[in-house]
Amino acid sequence: MMYLKISIFFLGFLFLASCQSEESSSAAEAAPETMDQTADGQNPNMNSDGSAGNQTEGRTSLSTSADQANATTTTPQAPDGPTTTMQFDSELHDFGTIADGDKVTHTFVFTNTGDKPLVVSNAKGSCGCTVPNWDKDPVMPGETGELTIQYDSKNKGSVDGKVDTKFVTVTANTVPSTQRLTIRANVVKEAG
């Protein structure tokens, strides 16, 4: 009987610890406080929509200290070979208000703006609820490719609504080798 009580206590502790970890991660992602510096050493400014970032050649740089810690240990290497440039039509998508548990998708379109074939080698979500899927074939200069993100809002909302922000880091044979896409949604949970 004593072992059963200890086992239940231990399992409860693990459950609470994992929930706290997810909430801390979501809070850090929703309120970026630490910013990256651009390649030329400038600090980013606030955007007109209130998000932190730096507009450089049409790209917004957003970062959190949690993402910076992950980036140093899990950032995939860009493919070897010639480099090119890419431009996304938009780097932010807001799903608006959705119900807790909804699975929604958005397709980001990008263009190879360089003169070499573009190879997206990896796209990684900041959370397991954010799953990217992208064109695996090289994108020739001047042509477009797509990267689709599916977001699962299960257990991400509150009765009053909670804005949940997630990121996808795209790695390619570009300079810089990574770009970050942002999705967000106001997730509302049913009362009861």
CA-angle at 140, arms to 79 and 62, nearest 5°? 55
DSSP 174: B
Measure the CA angle with vertex 18, ends 14 and 20; round to 5°.
Answer: 115
Mean pLDDT for 163-167 is: 97
Q: Above 60 in pLDDT, residue 178?
A: yes
Give me the helices (H) in 31-118, please. 65-74
pLDDT band at 191 (very low <50, low <70, confident <90, very high): confident
User: CB burial class (10 A; 0-12, 13-18, 19+) of residue 110?
Assistant: buried
Closest by CA to 28, choosing from 64, 82, 73, 70, is 64
Sketch out the chain's domains with CATH numbers: 2-35+53-188 (2.60.40.10)
Give residue for tokens 């070499």: 116
More reliable by pLDDT, 21 or 163: 163
Residue 12 backbone dihedrals phi, psi, to 5 degrees: -60, -40
165 Cβ neighbours under 8 A, 6+ residues apart? 29, 30, 182, 183, 184
R_g over Cα of the chain: 19
Count of beta carbons in the 10 Å neighbourhood of residue 134: 20
Q: Report pLDDT digits (tens) over 62-84.
A: 333 344 434 444 555 656 678 99
pLDDT tens digits, one per residue of 135-160: 899 999 999 999 999 999 999 999 99
The pLDDT of residue 52 is 40
107-145 pLDDT, tens digit per residue, is 999 999 999 999 999 999 999 999 999 989 999 999 999
What's the confidence (pLDDT) of residue 163? 97
Among the ranges given (41-50, 66-75, 79-88, 166-175), the one the predictor scored with the smallest mean pLDDT:
41-50
